[in-house]
Amino acid sequence: MLNEGKLFQSSYPKSFRDLVGKNGVITVQGEQQRNLHAIASNMMRLDKLKSHFLEDIQKVVLQTLSHIQDNRTILLQDVCRKLAINLMVNQLLGVSSEAQINEMAQLFSDFVDGCLSVPINWPGFAYHTAMKAREKIISEIFITIEKRKQEGASEVGNGVLGRLLIEENLADDAVADFIINLLFAGNETTAKTMLFAVYFLTQCPRALTQLRDEQNSVRPNSGEEMLTWQDYKAMSFTQCVIDETLRLGGIAIWLMREAKQDITYQDFVIPKGCFVVPFLSAVHLDENLYKGALSFDPWRWMDPKNEEKRNWRSSPFYSPFGGGARFCPGAELARLQIALFLHHFVNSYRWIQLKQDRMSFFPSARLVNGFQIRPIKRHKSKQKEKG
């Protein structure tokens, strides 16, 4: 990861490159990649999370959770996917219409299904369906770009797209590819981490109790539904739960790289042009690095001995957001979304798991049965009770 552009370069299959676009920050190389990465990082700086994202995230979370029917069976996987696409479309495009979001959710599902498919552009093949979905998503982005231009520049309520048009000088097709890359990078990863966090907490009642106690104490008597940045920063155990979820059920479990030259590593020679797949999860689940590596143990991150290891921006032992020149620019945003979801979900519901589930890591990290639960609304007078 630290030798991006030197010894190795990012390399993806044709279907993936075609779908994310030639101007995508995920696939471009060199100076273009550095420029686009800097723009993405600027769009999601901490000060912008506070001023542009904090309240909007909570509005979307509360709106999405309000559709959960009390004491009815749901697949939490579907709820988290709906929430994640709602968040990404709202924050990137400034769109809040439920009809538009539902349309985008279906298009994006088709898009994602084709990203690692055989690139056969013929009806009936996943690649063909995904390319058609891409065309429609790009068309929606162009319509939104034109609308923003006609309305005049305003940072308020127009999402990342609105700020891009104000702050950066990019052609419309580059803006469209930029947005579709952020949609792809943020949607599935956020949805699955939310899902896995609730799954792991359900398997570990002690952790769930401690997290719920912390969330109940964040603003016990304020009467305000919306959390402040200070409230978010007070969620120390919640951050441990997020870190452990990312370690044990991380989404970016492997990367795709190509050797730019012959490389000698220990007793091996990696020839120029070879495809190299580093498995991040092999490090995250290494018993030599993490005692009880296959167990969900958020308390491990409270141990001072793990403080340096926990630095997910630079640690060689913990890289849930990648590293080097391609470190995920939306890492802080993702953590904020997950923490706010957990706050509102555990404070609003208790739940019963109805069907046994298990993790699978092929072709990507997932819960085999989608985590079937029956959520039961928690009445405010009882929300301070434990469990």
Q: Which residues contribute to the annotated binding site?
A: 328
**What are the binding residues for heme?**
328
SS3 246: helix
- Helix axes of 159-167 and 172-203: crossing angle, nearest 10 degrees: 140
Tell me how far apart the alpha carbons of residues 267 and 265 are, in angstroms, rounded to a whole number: 6
Rounded to whole angstroms, what are the CA distances from 291 to 137, 202, 311, 316? 45, 21, 18, 17
The dihedral region occupied by 356, where left means phi > 0, alpha psi between -120 and 50, and beta the remainder, is: beta
Order of all β-strands in the sheet with 349-353: 74-75, 372-377, 349-353
Strand partners, 376: 350
Under 8 Å between Cβ of 215 and 235: yes
Tokens standing for residue 351: 């739940």
Q: Please tell me whether residue 154 adopts helix, strand or coil conformation.
A: coil
Q: How far apart are CA 375 and CA 182, in angstroms?
A: 31
Q: Report CA torsion sign: 53, 55, 56, 58.
A: positive
Residues whose CB is less than 8 angstroms from the CB of residue 206 and which lie 6 or more positions away in sequence, other chains included? none
Residue that the structure tokens 């498995």 belong to: 279
Residue 284 and residue 247 in contact, taking contact as beta carbons nearer than 8 Å = yes
Cα–Cα dist 385/378, whole Å: 10
d(CA 78, CA 84): 10
